[in-house]
Chains A and B, each alone.
Chain A
Amino acid sequence: MAGKDITIGQYLARETALHRLDPRLKVLAVIAGTVVIFLYDSGWGLLVFAGMLLLVLVLARMPLWPLLKSIRTVWVIILITALLQFFLTPGKIVFSWGFLTVTDTGLYNGLILSSRVVILVLLLATLVMTTPPLALADAFSSLLSPLRRLKVPVGHVTTVMSITLMFIPNILEVGRKVMRAQMARGADFESWNVFRRVRDIVPVLVPLFVKVFNNAEELALAMDARAYPESGVRTRLHPMRIGVLETVLTFAFIGLAVGLIFVF
């Protein structure tokens, strides 16, 4: 049914090595991965990085299907990125049809850019699917804690972040419900007609935004009523501890990924 395959932002409770890995290390690895994939000059760097990522996922016995489904969610972005590069980049013409021309540089750039988007989505999906939202927020809070000395409101930033992450599944559920409600009024989200599908997105987005903003306002008032912002320093019931082996392995992964910049 419509909307059932949207998997972005949903934690997947499993027992894998990646799930057990300290969330701070996962965040660092994902940040490093996100930076390096845009620094590789050639496709070989991307290919080797993708191979490394796949190896980590397989070794950690991470189910691949939910990750691959997250790519399906953003296939339109990937397609548009590739097509824009194919048709708009100057170079040696390899194919032309009417006013449309595809160049060799366009083909190469299109493939590289769309591969980057695919790897980026995989990286982020791996992080979000293997880390509970609260653990993720705690990780950001811990990593950003040095900024407290510069009077940055780290506590508020991470609270906002954790609430946002926790509400993603809720927003998806509201979206699904609105879609079904509009389907009951004749909207067709399963049509092969792309224009009709795009047109029918508006009746989903407007009620969804209204609902999300209303919920946000209500939540803010409810938090206010319960004396937010709190004063004093928050302590943790379960303080996070990083193991030696997981640190070594994570930094080895990051080191290899960075090293590839100089190799390719």
Chain B
Amino acid sequence: MKSAEILCIGGANGSGKSTLAQICAGLLTPSSGSVYYLDKKVESRNNLLELRKKVGLLFQSPEDQLFADTVEKDISFGPRNRGLRGAELDARVRTAASLFDLSLEELGGRSPFTLSVGEKRRVALAGVLALEPEVLVLDEPFIGMDFDARQHMQSLLGRLRDDRGTSIVIITHELSSSWLLADRYALLAGGGVERLQSRSELVEKERDLIALGLRLPQWGVLANSLKEMGIFVEDPADPLALARAICSIREGSDGR
């Protein structure tokens, strides 16, 4: 993957998405094939430990992994494990918390178990970000979140890529959750990825997606329906472009 891009890995249930996420983070070793990081093959135990430092992983339902008695302590767990103490640790925790709109003054002393799902997930993400990974792998990051929390998380991830240049891998079974966020897509099928695709390529290959047990978001389906009617939409993810295309049908039908 490129630096400072968001890559979405899609696949149906049981296609090996979570296993791939853990392999990416150096927590599991593949039964076949190899892992490369910056063109260097990850072979030895030392390579694996190095990989763990470079790649941060947020597990599916990360709220299940919170354990400390306060939010601040939970965020500091990772950097503390890496030997950070005092002002440096404090700065790391504050930066990570602020990146996810978490006010330590307000939430820092609270138990993470008392937070909402969205807040818990942001605390867990801040805990991973506090390790300052070069690549962030998120396993189903939006699952179980309401609309507002999901929107909030999406905008935070976008900021992370744009402002800090972090490369992000989003692993999901529901492409619509990261449709406007991802730069490229990889679809898991038969234990592998054929090739990386753009959003418009995915829209063109709707049947391939259905064969893999995945579905296009509604606007992609709409764009394809419009295409069948002879109306081409350049960017199917752009609501304005879709609206214009629909309006063009109205204009055609009533002569305006």
**Chain A residues packing against B (C-beta within 8 Å):** 1, 174, 177-178, 180-188, 202-207, 210-211
At the interface, yes or no: B47 with Cβ under 8 Å from chain A? no
Determine whether the beta carbon of A207 is less than 8 Å from that of B65: yes
A199 to chain B: closest residue by CB = B81
At the interface, yes or no: B100 with Cβ under 8 Å from chain A? no
- What are the residues of chain B within 8 A of A1 when measuring CB–CB? 27-29
Determine whether the beta carbon of A207 is less than 8 Å from that of B22: no
Known: A174-B64, A186-B131, A205-B67. 18 other contacts (CB 8 A): A178-B65, A180-B22, A180-B28, A181-B57, A181-B64, A183-B52, A184-B57, A184-B128, A185-B131, A186-B77, A186-B78, A186-B80, A187-B77, A188-B81, A202-B67, A203-B65, A203-B68, A207-B65
A181 and B65 in contact (CB under 8 A), knowing A186-B131, A210-B113? yes
Residue interface mask B66-98, A partner, CB < 8 A = 1: 111000000001111110000000000000000
At the interface, yes or no: B118 with Cβ under 8 Å from chain A? no
Can you give 22 contacting A-B residue pairs, CB < 8 Å? A174-B64, A177-B59, A178-B64, A178-B65, A180-B59, A181-B59, A182-B77, A183-B27, A184-B25, A184-B27, A184-B52, A184-B59, A185-B127, A185-B131, A186-B79, A186-B131, A188-B81, A203-B68, A203-B77, A204-B67, A210-B64, A211-B64
Q: State the Cβ distance, A23 to closest chain B Cβ, in Å.
A: 32
Most chain B beta carbons < 10 A, residue from A174, A184, A202 = A184
**Bound CA span A253–B141, Å:** 56
- What are the residues of chain A within 8 A of B65 when measuring CB–CB? 178, 181-182, 185, 203, 207
Most chain B beta carbons < 10 A, residue from A180, A182, A185, A210 = A185
**Bound CA span A174–B60, Å:** 12
Interface size classification for chain B: 20 to 34
**Chain B residues packing against A (C-beta within 8 Å):** 22, 25, 27-29, 52, 56-57, 59, 62, 64-68, 77-82, 113, 127-128, 131
User: Which applies to chain A's interface (DSSP): helix, strand, loop or mixed?
Assistant: helix
- What are the residues of chain A within 8 A of B57 when measuring CB–CB? 181, 184
Q: State the Cβ distance, B224 to closest chain A Cβ, in Å.
A: 38
**Bound CA span A187–B57, Å:** 13
Q: State the Cβ distance, A200 to closest chain B Cβ, in Å.
A: 8
- What are the residues of chain A within 8 A of B79 when measuring CB–CB? 186
